Amino acid sequence: MFICIMDTVGYIEIKINGSKGNLELNPDNYDIREIISILENTENLLNIDNKKSRPIITYSLEKGSVRHVFKTPMQYIIGFNAIIGQINQNQTIDFLDLSTAKAFESLQDIASKNDYVFIIKTSLGNSNEVKLDRTTNYKRTEAVWVDAEFYFYGKVTNAGGKDKANIHIFTEDFGNVRVQTPISFLEEYKENLLYKTLGLRALGKQHSETGEIDLASLKFVQLIDYQPKYDENYLNMLIEKATKNSWSIVENKDSWLKEIRGSYDT
């Protein structure tokens, strides 16, 4: 009996054709800063930077002219192949989630500035592929991103910065969120913010159709003291107080409800 087992690992290939002056582009004249840029963008292409359980991604730089090869589990390769097929068919990146769209924009900028030709494809048979060069224009439609106000609640994990200050707050919904914050505010704030649980009000960009938040656009507006309390004794007192009464003997129900609710801030 013959059993066919599908490969569990595949790869994404980003091939770059171009030149450095009179020399054809190859790994020997390809600068390390360009390699770093591709590495950063590829993680965003797969939209796994903030995932709690990210897959292992391995990398190799190969000839012809320059080939970046990223190996990762096949399920991510299959998903990415569908994405580049949709991009190639519709010639737009507006449907992508934010991190993936920004990665394509960054690669488009590199191609345009350096007169490079990018060919992006996968290891799948008959793989879809996308071509980026100085004639293409893979940019998001700015009109779909609108100004909005947001509230984040969580624990502060970092606050400060030498030239550009930020507050980092860890939230259940978005993971670690970084908010641009005026240095003057942090200088004047007397308490230690680190590991304090609080709310943060911020301004930023939001997709008008999907509701997705551009977490890189967030700017600080206000801190909100957020200390949820649970007082068991106080709660039991209210329960006991309520059970001693019934609606039939309460003359002024509005006053009674106000008394039962009390003034405790939850």
Domain span(s) for CATH 2.40.50.140 in the chain: 144-225
Q: How far is CA 41 from CA 15, 47, 109, 121, 131, in A?
A: 14, 10, 12, 15, 16
Tell me the two tokens of residue 10.
């595949």
Tell me the two tokens of residue 252.
């002024």
Residue 69 above 90 pLDDT? yes
Tell me the two tokens of residue 82.
């569908």
Q: Please report the pLDDT score of residue 207 as a whole number.
A: 82
| pLDDT one-digit tens code per residue, 110-157 | 999 999 999 999 999 999 999 999 999 999 887 677 899 999 999 999
| CA atoms of 103 and 212, how far apart (whole Å) | 16
| pLDDT one-digit tens code per residue, 165-187 | 999 999 988 889 999 999 988 88
Local structure of residue 247 (DSSP, 8 states): G
| CA atoms of 247 and 242, how far apart (whole Å) | 10
Contacts of 78 (CB under 8 A, 6+ apart): 10, 124
CATH code for the part of the protein at 144-225: 2.40.50.140
